[in-house]
Structures are given as structure tokens and as C-alpha cells.
Amino acid sequence: MLSAKLERILPKVQKPARYVGGEWGSVTKDKNEVDIRFAFCFPDVYEVGMSHLGSRILYGLLNDQKGVWCERVFAPWVDLEEHMRKENIPLYGLESGDALSEFDIIGFTLQYELSFSNILNMLDLGGVPVLAQDRKELKNLVVAGGPCAYNPEPLCDFIDLFMIGDGEEVMLDLVNLYNTAKDENISKHEFLVRAAQIQGIYVPSLYDVEYNEDGTVKKVTAKENAPKMVQKRIVEDLDTMYYPEYFVVPSTDIVFDRAMVELFRGCPRGCRFCQAGHTYRPLRKKSKETILNQAKKVLESSGYEEISLSSLSTSDYSELSGLTECMLDYCEPKHISLSLPSLRADSFSAELMERVQKVRKSGLTFACEAGTQRLRDVINKNITEDDVLGACEIAFQGGWNNVKLYFMLGLPTETSEDLDGISEICKKVAYCWRINTNNRARGVKITASASCFVPKPQTPFQWDAQNTLAVLQGKQDYMRKIMKTKNVTYNWHDAKTSVMEGVIARGDRRQGKAIYLAWQRGCKFDGWEQLFDFDKWIQAFKDCDLDPAFYASRQRPLDEVFPWDHIGCGTTKQHLKREWERSRNAAITEDCMKKCAGCGSNSLFEGGHCCV
Amino acid sequence: MFKARMRFSKTGRAKYISHLDLMHTMQRAMARCNMPIWFTEGFNQHAYVSVALPLSTGYSGEYEFLDFNFLTETVPENAVKMINSVFPEGLYAQEIYALSDGGMKIANIAWSRYKITWGFDGEIPQDFIKDANELFAKDDIQILKRSKRGEKMVNMKELMKTPEITQKDGVVVCNVVTGAGNKNMSPEYLTKAIKEYLPQYNITDEAYHRLCVYTDDMVEFR
Ligand code: SF4
């Protein structure tokens, strides 16, 4: 229930509906009847967090357990936070309205480095000590998982344990162990020692890190029987894996307000800049039947008017055409539209597009990433200009007039020729529209967006220096000058944000102090341009004797020990190194469907075979 | 196909659902229970629903109306039960009925009855109820009212009927009929009037709940 204090405040804040819960599909249990109260925290606003499929899956999974009540917690926007602090209202679970400090396990999902400060802020606002060492009891155990857990080190001061890899199974192991620990009344430390024995669980306090003179990691030592290397967990069979039959349906607008079903995990492509492409391996797919079944159930129980089939590379789903047909047979009579994100330009077929657009027509997006074939080969984005133009031709002939192209600036080995290439492609796409459209009067909207490349841990580019702020800004200025084609709108992202993301992405545990200091000085919602304070962050690093450039813009030697080397993402470091070497010769590596590149992740399977 | 109307309440947590979001929420609830309703045709097909006289976000109400079209011959049996089983917390359908001859026109709604609740830090001040009743018994209460055409001083008594102000469970309850439609006046103007004319009282909590809507001659809208 909402407290009277909160009700007094809600009329004064923006979009109060996101703070009240009670949506269709949200789960309420009797708190006296459950053993474990789990707070599933997303360190961003409701609209962003509710759009995240993984969180929806785990919310359903945990609440499916009889003894567990999982609630949702999001970061309140600054206007509400101000009122909450003034009125002494603690951050609360949306289902019960109870303070965060009343929960047994507090779990954060780590999607983005620039949401880390929000984790500290949410704990604090919820009345939970921010530093792990100040939480002495088993209660308020703070755990985390998600993509950024592949380098958990910057968060070691705050998080008691990390779950690496797929959450569906390890989450239940954790909850079971917690139950036992409560029954046996063991200490938090004893619990953590035992938890470290579960595959996929990383307990940072059980590892000592030594550094070299130059600030790089010398070695990491595991204590108290914790594994030397924490290998990630995977769910082997997606067909039998838990999938929610209902979704929480927000009563207010969110970013991706639709039903979603996952097609497969892992990506066969191996783009060298992409962390997900390397950390979600090995490839596992859901059968067409399972997908259809799950899609129907979720649509029926949610009432959603749109469903997306999600994956890292949808066109690589082997039965996509048949699946789309069956989906449309179901969706069309019910006025449900189907969206297929992550389609690749090269396999884009006119037929598929026409079928999908029958119910509702949305824009087309192509991730070209780089402006020349040479650079696309460096990053192993195996897509050619002809692919893009061929797809555009079909699209424009089919009456589409809205195309988005994505690029990155600052990729390794980039030269001004590559930047010119971006503007060339855009010109060609604009020309392609002119000669292919059958309705010039309607006009066309071509949007080119350029983000700044951030080298990520556990990718072949983890050794590479990120361009400095000055270099990135220089490239952006140059782009603005050359992107002058009619009908092409050019968007760019703030380079400072990417630099900060780059600093933390490959950080070590010493960064905890800087993150703490930055948060104390008011940093939060750093992913939101209007609130991001770059200078404050840089100052916090300096005040902790840490050099941001050491983390972001330093080229690492191939034999350097990384702070995240003891965290296994499935793909081996050896493979990543090989890929880095190939990238310097602009040598492409074929996708898994053509030839296994030997990334090593198949060893996580019982049989050792990827399903491609 | 025929026109139909649902009377529903929107209370508790649902009172924060905005007008636009309420339409989506209704469309999805209709889809969840397979209500055979009409969809618009053309480019962007969607379930047609229309909320009459939407409440301000944060207000609750128990006399709200949603118009839509059924594809069937008659209102499905159990329609009320069906929709209530798939509503989010705080929404509740009371009645679903066919609108023969188009039914009453939304444009004919002229009055709303509200229950306003005023709370204070601590006890209700001794003379508050007496003073408030006296204030609203006057024939002319000038107040600065905002409209699409800007702000202007008006006599709010022309846009409302004399309220009944009583005390219940430690809060003050004001039952008032205010203008809707063309001569719309938000019940918040009563709170504003108190703040302006009885500044000695410091209302800390205010809540607005719509009890009923009427046509010009005070016939309950249906
Ligand atoms: S083991 Fe081979 S097929 Fe499997 S993901 Fe790695 S490279 Fe691809």
C-alpha cells in the first residue's frame, strides 16, 4: 500500500504512475507466508527498467517459487528523490511499499556502467548501507548480475556477490542456499564462502588483488577455497528453460511497451567490438514451437498489441521465415503487430519485410558501424555496402521512406578516410531512394547516428586504447562538417559520456573509491545527459589518485593481466587475442554457421556442440 | 456492430493512470478478456475506446465512462465479470450496456459531484468547518480562474452548488457539485478559495474523488 506521506508527494512529481505499482501481472504475496523477500532493482527509471526482458524473466521466475516474493524497485527520478529525502521516505518495493532495508536479498541488474552511481544511491535511499563491509548481517545481501558483471571489479566495494552468465538457474541456487543459511543461522561470511562454491557465483571479498608498480594487475589470489576462475553459468536448453507466461503490463508508457520472446542466445557473428556477441556464447536456440507457444501465452495474458522476436541477430534464426509466417497467422486477425529487431541488411528479404509490415509499418534500421570495407573487416562486421544498398533498394521500392543507419566513431585503426566513408554511404542511400521510390513527393527520412566506440572487457578490442575526448570531439566536428547531404539527418552522441563509460568498463577495484566519492558529490543518472557531470567524475578520480586515461585511453600489451581475467565469459582469452591479431590485418573471421572459429564457449555444453 | 458504454471506477493506485495511459490500459484489458470490440481500420489499427470526461491524474472516481463498439449482436453475457477479471488494481467495471439511439451525449454532461477530503497536521482546527461553510454560503466568491483563454477573475459560485462540509474520521469531507463541460471548474478551486480567504488554516492533504456526473438538469448521466 502507498503510505500517506507518499500520497502527499505524488501529485507534485512528474509521471507518478511509475511509482505506485498495482499493474496487471504484478505479483502480491503475503509477506508472512514467504521465506525470502527479494528486491529486484533496476538502477534506472521505471520506463527503462520495465522494458528490459531479462528482468521480466527473472521477476516471473522468482515469484514462481512458492517461498519467494520478488518485488520491483526502480530509481526514482530526481524530483521524487528530493521529496523522499526531505520527508524521510525510504525507497520501497513497488508491490508492498516496504522499505528496501526490509528485504532479504537485494539484486541489481547491471546493464550499463553509467548506472553504477544509481546503485549506491538506491541502497542509500532504501536505508541500506552502501558499502558491503558495513552490512554485517545476512539480511540485505546485495547481489548483482547482467552484462556489466563480466567486469565486476569497479563494484566490489558495494556488492556482496555477482552472478555471472545466465541468471535462470544460478538465481535459484542462490535463493536455495540463502534459505538454508537462514535455517542454519550461519554468518554472512560463512554464507559467502559457501556461495562461492556455486558455479557462476563470484564473491569479490574472497579474492586478493596485487598490483604492479605501473598500476596494472599483478595477480589475483582466491581465498577460502573459492575457485581461481569463475566460469559463467549457461542454461543449456532454452526449450525447457523457464519463461514467464505473463508479463507485468505497465499502466504508463515505457520505452519498449510490448511483449517479447527470445529466439536464441549467443550470436554467430563475432563482431569484434561487441561484448554481448562474445559473452552470450555458446549458441543456443529455441525451437519454433516453443517460441510460438510462449508468444501466444504472453500475448494472451498481457493483451499487448505488439510483439518482438528478440535476439542479437534475428536474421540468423534458421527457421525465421517459417516462424514469421506462423506468427503472422496468429497475430493478424488479432491486430497484433510483429517486430523483428536486429535484422541484418545482408539477409534482408523483400518478402519478409512485406509480410511483417502488413499490420503496422515501422522504420528500418541498419547497423553499418563503419564507413569503409577495410574498417568493417577490422571489426568483423561482415556486411558490405552492396548489402546495405541492396536492402535499401528493396525497402524503398516497397514504399518505405524511413531508414536509420548506425555508425561508430573511434574504432581501432580508424582514419579520416573511414569518416568520409560514412558520409559516402549516406549519400548513396539518399540517391538510392531517389531512383527507387515511387513517391518522391512524400520525401524520405534518412537518419545517420554516430556513437563513440567504447572498448569493452571480454572482447577482442579489450586491449585497445579508446580515443581521447579531444580526438573524439575532433572527429565529431569533422563529421558535422561533411554530413551535409539533403534528406540525411545526422545525430551524434555526447563523447564525454562514452569516455566515462570507457573508464569504468575496464576498471579495477580501486575505482570503488572514486565511484563512492562521485556519488557522495551528487553524481547519479549519469547515463542521462541532462544530469551527467563529467568534470565531477574526473575530479573524483583525481582525488582518489586514479588516472582516467590509464583505464580508457591506454593501449595494453597483449600479455597484460586484466582485472577481469578471473571471470570467465565462455569465450577464451586466447580466442580474443587471436581475433585482435586478425583485426590488425583486417582479416575477417567467418560466422559460426559457416565455420566454427573455436571461441571455446562450446566447452560449457555437456556435448560440446553449438547449435547453429 | 453497436455502440456501448462501460461505467467504471478508478481508485487506489489506478488514480495515477493518466488519460492517455488509461486508454491503453483499457485496450489491453479488452484484449486480455477477448472482448469482441471494434478496431479502427486503415494505417494504424487499434481497438477503439474513448474515455468520457477524463479525470485529472491523481483523482479517483466511481462514475467514469468508457465508450466503445461491440461487434456482436448484444452485450456478451458476463462482460462485466470478464473485464473485471483482467483489470489492474483499482479499475472496476460496474456496468456495461448498449447505447440505443446513441445514448446520452457526452457533450450533455454539465455537472460533476465530488467528494473533497481535506486533512491537517494533527487535529482539525476548531472553527474550520464553520468558517468553510460560511465562506461557501456566500453568493459571490471571486477567484482567479485559469482557462484556455488565459486567467481571469470569476465568481466561482456560478460554477458550483453550495457544498456540504462535514467531518469524518479525523478529516474534513466536502461534498460539492461543480460545473463540468462548458462551464467546467476543477474542485481544486475550493481548496484555493480556502487558502485565499481563510489563510489561517493550513490544509496539508487534499484528495478529490468524483461521485457522479449529471446533465444540466441534474439527471444522472448514463
Ligand atoms: S564454439 Fe564455435 S560455433 Fe560455438 S560460438 Fe564459439 S565459434 Fe561459434
* Residue range B69-125, pLDDT digits in tens: 999 999 999 999 999 999 999 999 999 999 988 789 999 999 999 999 999 988 999
B55 vs A contacts (CB less than 8 Å): none
Q: What are phi and psi of A209, to 5 degrees?
A: -115, 130
Find the CATH number of the domain harbouring A225: 3.40.50.280
> Is the pLDDT reported for residue A72 higher than 60?
yes
- A61 CB neighbour count, 10 Å cutoff: 21
pLDDT above 50 (res A359): no
Query: Sign of torsion, CA A40 A44 A45 A49?
Result: negative
What stretches of B132-204 adopt beta strand conformation (E)? Answer: 142-147, 150-155, 164-168, 171-179
Do the Cβ atoms of A304 and B28 come within 8 Å? yes
- Asked whether the beta carbons of residue A17 and residue B57 sit closer than 8 angstroms, the reply is yes
Q: Establish if A257 belongs to a structural domain.
A: no
Pick the residue from chain B with its C-alpha nearest to A297. B32
pLDDT band at residue A312, thresholds of 50, 70 and 90? confident
- Pocket lining: A597 vs ligand 1, CB cutoff 6 Å: yes
Among the listed residues B127, B159, B164, the one whose alpha carbon sits nearest the alpha carbon of residue B145: B159
Q: For position A245, what pLDDT does the model report?
A: 87
Q: How far is Cα B89 from Cα A469, in angstroms, rounded to an integer?
A: 49
Average pLDDT, chain A: 93
Res. A486 pLDDT band, cuts 50 70 90: confident
Q: How far is CA B11 from CA A2, B91, B208, in A?
A: 13, 7, 11
**Contact indicator for A303, B32 with CB cutoff of 8 Å:** yes
The count of C-alpha atoms lying within 13 angstroms of the C-alpha of A576, restricted to the half-sphere facing its C-beta, is 28
CA distances from B89 to A15, A19, A28, B25 (A): 18, 14, 11, 11
- For the Cβ of A281 lying below 6 angstroms from any atom of ligand 1, the answer is yes
User: Which stretches of A437-489 are DSSP H helices?
Assistant: 469-482
Separation between Cα atoms, residue B120 and residue B167, nearest integer Å:
12
Per residue in A540-565, pLDDT (tens digit) is 999 999 999 999 999 999 999 999 99
Please work out, in degrees rounded to the nearest 5, the angle formed at the alpha carbon of residue B208 by the alpha carbons of B27 and B142. Answer: 125
CB contact under 8 A, A305 and B13: no
SS (H, E, C) A104-163: CEEEEECCCHHHHHHHHHHHHHCCCCCCHHHCCCCCCEEEEECHHHHCCHHHCCCCCEEE
Domain count, chain A: 1
Output the pLDDT for position A527.
94
A103-112, A360-369, B22-31, B148-157, range with the lowest pLDDT: A360-369
pLDDT at site A363? 66
Residues of chain B with CATH 3.30.70.580: 2-103
Indicate whether A347 pLDDT > 70.
no
- Nearest-atom number in ligand 1 for the CA of A266 is 5
Mean pLDDT across A532-539? 97
By three-state DSSP, how is residue A553 classified? Answer: coil
Average pLDDT in the A128-140 region? 97
Task: Say yes or no to pLDDT of A360 above 60.
Answer: no
Residue pLDDT, tens place only, A212-241? 999 999 999 999 999 999 999 999 999 999
Does residue B37 carry a pLDDT above 60? yes
Element (H, E) at A394: helix A385-397
Q: What is the ipTM of this complex?
A: 0.91
Contacts (Cβ under 8 Å, ≥6 apart) of A557: A463
Residue ID of nearest Cα to ligand 1 atom 5: A282
Decide if pLDDT at A356 tops 70: no
Residue A548 lies in a domain: no
Encode pLDDT of A379-417 as tens digits. 999 888 998 898 888 888 877 788 889 999 999 999 999
Q: Note whether residue A135 is domain-resident.
A: yes
Q: Can you give the residue range of the structural domain that contains A222?
A: 4-231
| Class of the domain covering B109-215 | alpha beta
Domain annotation covers residue A521: no
Sign of CA pseudo-dihedral A142, A497, A536, A151: positive
Residue A472 in contact with residue A409, Cβ under 8 Å? yes
Measured between its terminal Cα atoms, the distance across chain B in Å is: 20
pLDDT digits (tens, 9 = 90+) for A316-338: 888 888 898 899 899 989 999 88
Please determine, for residue A91, whether its predicted confidence score (pLDDT) is greater than 70. yes
CATH entry, B2-103, from 3.30.565.10, 1.10.275.10, 2.40.50.140, 3.30.70.580? 3.30.70.580
Residue B134 reports pLDDT greater than 90:
yes
CB B88 to CB A24 under 8 A? yes
Please choose from A271, A458, A601, A603 the residue to mutate so as to test ligand 1's pocket, defined by most ligand atoms within 8 A of CB: A601
Which pLDDT score is estimated for A394? 82
pLDDT of B186: 95
SS3 A279: helix
- Average pLDDT of chain B? 94
Distance CA B163, CA B117 (A): 13
Q: In 10 A of CB A603, how many CB atoms?
A: 11
Cα–Cα distance for residue pair A404/A390, rounded to 1 Å: 15
**pLDDT tens profile A564-591:** 999 999 999 999 999 999 999 999 999 9
Over pLDDT 90: what percentage of chain A?
Answer: 80
H or E segment at A534?
helix A534-543
Lowest-pLDDT range, A400-404, B134-138, B149-153?
A400-404
A residues 276-335 closer than 8 Å to B (CB): 300-305, 334-335
Dihedral angle computed from the Cα positions of residues A120, A122, A124 and A127, in that order, rounded to the nearest 10 degrees: -140
Q: In chain A, helix, strand, coil percent, each to 5?
A: 40, 15, 45
Question: Rounded distance, CA A458 to CA B120, Å?
Answer: 58
Q: How does strand A284-285 pair with strand A68-74?
A: unpaired
Over residues A270-291, the mean pLDDT reads 94
Mean pLDDT lowest for which of A338-342, A380-384, B143-147, B151-155? A338-342
Mean pLDDT, range A191-213, rounded to an integer:
98
Closest residue by Cα to atom 6, ligand 1, is A599
Q: Is residue A144 part of a domain?
A: yes
Chosen for mutation from B11, B21, B24, B206 (greatest number of chain A CBs closer than 10 Å) is B24
Is the pLDDT at A171 greater than 80? The verdict is yes
